[in-house]
């Protein structure tokens, strides 16, 4: 069970860019849950996995936390950690049902995703392009251009196969949460950069281990999420954006910039692969600030 907790924490670090302090809190919360399960039933120490945890066990755990006299905020955080873990396990196919789905816990505020300004994105992409001579540099440029052009998740990016890239059509096909397929249009500049990588750089990286993977590491193997995160941090530092970027930043920037440019929320939802419009609506808070600023600049009575 602890192995799956470690896998989840790695996912949250690499894919979501969660801060070290938050990861520590997640780890403490989830190890507390594991210890509760092991104390409740010795079978959990002898091979019983997460798939055997049902809603009755989780409800008992909630009562256990209440009996420990934790505050509402602390209990809400611990249950948020548990929900996130089971959401991950469900996506990975490790469990078939989410035992936290019907839980009612104290609500906590949701933090808004951070997005780069258009100028900051340009600075990042320009910095990457300036070094794009070696095969690895061309690969990095193709990855970052493609992320900002499509809004894909990093996990979707590193999972791409060669037949997922439609250079002539200007599209990329990816498989999101629940293996849902979507076809995303990409602009001509991104197409040109990806074509350059596939024609001139990928053959230099590829070997017998490469298979059909689009993005490869120096060993010729499929690039991992962790590998991408290290690459992104390196280029962010070179662009003077160190500390402002997580693996999800270009996805957030893609959505925010589209909405500010006038794209309908429903279209952005489809591009991002969100199953619910409510997930996409978080970006409207960011765009409303932009609308207010534009109003204040444009209205003759607002100045």
As a three-state string, the secondary structure of the chain is CHHHHHHHHHHHHHCCCCCHHHHHHHHHHHHHHHHHHHHHCHHHHCCCCHHHCCHHHHHHHHHHHHHCCCCHHHHHHHHHHHHHHHHHHHHCCCCCCCCCCCCCCCCCCCCCCCCCCHHHHHHHHHHHHHCCCCHHHHHHHHHHHHHHHHCCCHHHHHCCEHHHEECCCCEEEEECHHHCEEEEECCHHHHHHHHHHHHHHHHHHCCCCCCCECCECCCCCECCHHHHHHHHHHHHHHCCCCCCCCCCHHHHHHHHHHHHCCCCHHHHHHHHCCCCHHHHCHHHHHHHHHHHHHHHHHCCCCC
Write down the pLDDT at residue 288.
Answer: 59
Q: Among the CATH numbers 1.10.10.10, 3.50.50.60, 2.130.10.10, 1.10.443.10, which is that of 118-290?
A: 1.10.443.10
Left if phi > 0, otherwise alpha if psi is -120 to 50, otherwise beta: which for 153?
beta
CB 255 within 8 A of CB 151: yes
Write down the pLDDT at residue 292.
Answer: 59
Per-residue pLDDT of the chain (303 residues; tens, 9 = 90+): 788 899 999 988 887 778 888 899 999 999 999 998 888 887 777 666 888 888 888 888 887 887 777 777 888 889 889 999 999 998 888 888 888 887 765 554 555 567 899 999 999 999 898 877 789 999 999 999 999 999 999 989 999 999 999 999 999 999 887 678 899 999 999 999 999 999 999 999 999 999 999 999 999 999 998 899 999 999 999 999 977 788 788 999 998 898 888 888 888 888 888 877 877 777 766 565 555 565 566 656 655
Catalytic residues: 153, 177, 248, 251, 274, 283
Per-domain residue ranges of the chain: 2-91, 118-290
Write down the pLDDT at residue 210.
Answer: 95
Write down the pLDDT at residue 74.
Answer: 85
Residue range 2-91, CATH number: 1.10.150.130
Write down the pLDDT at residue 33.
Answer: 92
Write down the pLDDT at residue 167.
Answer: 94
Report d(CA 143, CA 108) in Å as an integer.
35
Write down the pLDDT at residue 137.
Answer: 93
Task: Check if 2-91 and 118-290 are the same fold.
Answer: no
CB 111 within 8 A of CB 188: no
CB 170 within 8 A of CB 191: yes
Residues in contact with 288: Cβ distance below 8 Å, sequence separation at least 6, in sequence order: none
Report d(CA 157, CA 255) in Å as an integer.
16
Look up the pTM and report it. 0.62
């Amino acid at each position: 069970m602890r192995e799956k907790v470690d896998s989840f924490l790695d996912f949250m670090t690499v894919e979501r860019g969660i801060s070290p302090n938050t990861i520590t809190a997640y780890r403490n919360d989830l190890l507390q849950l594991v210890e509760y399960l092991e104390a409740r039933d010795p079978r959990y120490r002898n091979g019983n996995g997460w798939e055997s945890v049902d809603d009755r066990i989780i409800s008992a755990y909630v009562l256990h936390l209440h009996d420990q006299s934790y505050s509402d905020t602390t209990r809400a955080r611990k249950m948020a950690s548990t929900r996130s873990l089971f959401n991950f396990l469900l996506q990975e196919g490790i469990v078939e049902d989410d035992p936290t789905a019907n839980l009612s816990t104290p609500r906590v505020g949701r933090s808004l995703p951070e997005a780069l300004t258009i100028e900051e994105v340009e600075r990042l992409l320009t910095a990457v392009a300036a070094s794009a001579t070696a095969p690895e540099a061309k690969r990095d440029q193709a990855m970052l251009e493609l992320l900002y052009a499509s809004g894909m998740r990093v996990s979707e990016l590193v999972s791409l196969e060669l037949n997922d890239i439609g250079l002539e059509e200007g599209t990329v096909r990816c498989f999101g949460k629940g293996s849902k397929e979507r076809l995303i249009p990409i602009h001509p500049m991104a197409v040109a950069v990806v074509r350059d990588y596939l024609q001139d750089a990928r053959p230099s990286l590829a070997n017998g281990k490469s298979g059909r993977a689009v993005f490869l590491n120096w060993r010729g193997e499929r690039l991992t999420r962790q590998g991408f995160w290290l690459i992104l941090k390196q280029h962010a530092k070179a662009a003077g954006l160190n500390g402002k970027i997580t693996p999800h930043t270009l996805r957030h920037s893609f959505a925010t910039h589209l909405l500010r440019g006038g794209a309908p929320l429903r279209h952005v939802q489809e591009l991002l692969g969100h199953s619910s419009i409510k997930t996409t609506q978080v970006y409207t808070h960011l765009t409303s600030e932009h609308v207010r600023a534009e109003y204040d600049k444009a209205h003759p009575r607002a100045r």
